[in-house]
């Protein structure tokens, strides 16, 4: 009797283990997707989320996880060991700082994160001047902004100096011969840590105007009153690359190729991006 009970117990134990093994196999299949981590400039939030939905429908074995922030913040996170497969910056500077093929001037720390042969110029954007709804201070252009900043009648919001949109704004202020530090000390410049924060301050009327990207103005329903020329701040190019540290380099390359295709470009162009080139 005891032997029979012992045998039954062993049989039940083995059966239970088989069930658990079966469940584990099912869970493994459910979670067997390639998790692709994409670090992208905050100005790409809406478009990249839309693109991810389409891509995942076509590639059900891939799950895309985004990290959106200023390009400077993303660069520091990558440098400090954050897991990332694809990096898309809103300026060349932050990508250059991770690219070993660049000289010491562009990459002073000699960082080596960009996978050779994968770096591309993906998109172009526009730097624009936006105002709150109704444009209470009747700011008509960048020229008008510069004059009113100089006479102290308006307050500007811009990105921090480590944020691409802030760096473009600094070039615009320099173009007009304006002293950013002096104006900021007078309380007529406030800052945002990325372009989304700057856009929010403009939309909420916390400042009289702000320098943002055309795509962010579009997404926020803001009508730009001016567009910066290349002479004012240079070209706004978004480079993209697969990283050497990626655990899924083939999947990352495939996604980067998809971003250059017609379907993805249609999404980008719908909000004001254009193909780089």
Secondary-structure class of domain 125-225 per CATH: alpha beta
* 71 annotated to a ligand binding site: yes
* 43 annotated to a ligand binding site: yes
Contact 127, 172 (CB under 8 A): yes
* 19 annotated to a ligand binding site: no
Tell me which long-range contacts 106-111 makes (C-beta under 8 A, separation of at least 24).
Answer: 109/79, 111/79
Residue 106 has pLDDT above 80, yes or no: yes
Q: Which two tokens stand for residue 3?
A: 């032997």
> Region 132-155: what's the mean pLDDT?
96
Q: Quick: pLDDT tens for 147-194.
A: 999 999 999 999 999 889 999 999 999 999 999 999 999 999 999 999
CATH homologous superfamily of 32-123+236-273: Periplasmic binding protein-like II (3.40.190.10)
pTM flag (> 0.95): no
Q: Going along the chain, which residue ranges are E strands?
A: 34-41, 62-69, 86-88, 120-125, 127-130, 156-159, 189-192, 209-213, 226-227, 236-242, 274-275
Please state, rounded to an integer, the average pLDDT across all residues of the chain.
Answer: 89
> What pLDDT shows up at residue 69?
93
* 236 annotated to a ligand binding site: no
> What pLDDT shows up at residue 9?
46
Residue 19 has pLDDT above 50, yes or no: no
Report residue 151: phi and psi, to 5°: -90, 0
Q: Quick: pLDDT tens for 240-266.
A: 999 999 999 999 999 999 999 999 999
Residues of CATH 3.40.190.10 domain(s) within the chain? Answer: 32-123+236-273, 125-225
């Amino acid at each position: 009797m005891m032997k029979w009970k012992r045998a039954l117990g062993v049989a039940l134990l083995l059966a239970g283990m088989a069930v658990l093994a079966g469940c584990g196999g099912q869970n493994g299949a459910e979670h067997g997707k390639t998790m692709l981590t994409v670090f992208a400039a905050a100005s790409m939030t809406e478009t990249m989320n839309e693109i991810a939905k389409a891509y995942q429908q076509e590639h059900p074995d891939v799950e895309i996880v985004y990290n959106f922030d200023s390009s400077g913040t993303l660069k520091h996170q990558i440098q400090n060991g954050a897991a990332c497969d694809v990096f898309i910056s809103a300026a060349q500077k932050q990508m250059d700082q991770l690219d070993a093929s660049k000289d010491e001037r562009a990459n002073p720390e000699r960082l080596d994160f960009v996978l050779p042969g994968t770096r591309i110029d993906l998109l172009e954007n526009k730097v624009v001047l936006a105002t709150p709804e109704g444009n209470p201070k009747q700011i008509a252009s960048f020229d008008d902004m510069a004059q009113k900043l100089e006479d102290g009648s308006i307050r500007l919001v811009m990105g921090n100096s480590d944020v691409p949109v802030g760096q473009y704004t600094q070039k615009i202020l320099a173009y007009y011969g304006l002293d950013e530090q002096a104006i900021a000390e007078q309380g007529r410049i406030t800052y945002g840590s990325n372009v989304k924060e700057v856009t929010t301050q403009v939309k909420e009327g916390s400042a009289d105007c702000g320098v943002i990207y055309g795509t962010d103005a579009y997404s926020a329903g803001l009508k730009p009153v001016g567009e910066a020329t290349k002479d004012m701040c240079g070209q706004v190019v978004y480079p993209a690359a697969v990283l050497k540290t990626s655990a899924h380099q083939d999947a990352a390359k495939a996604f980067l190729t998809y971003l250059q295709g017609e379907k993805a470009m249609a999404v980008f162009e719908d909000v004001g991006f254009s193909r780089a080139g």
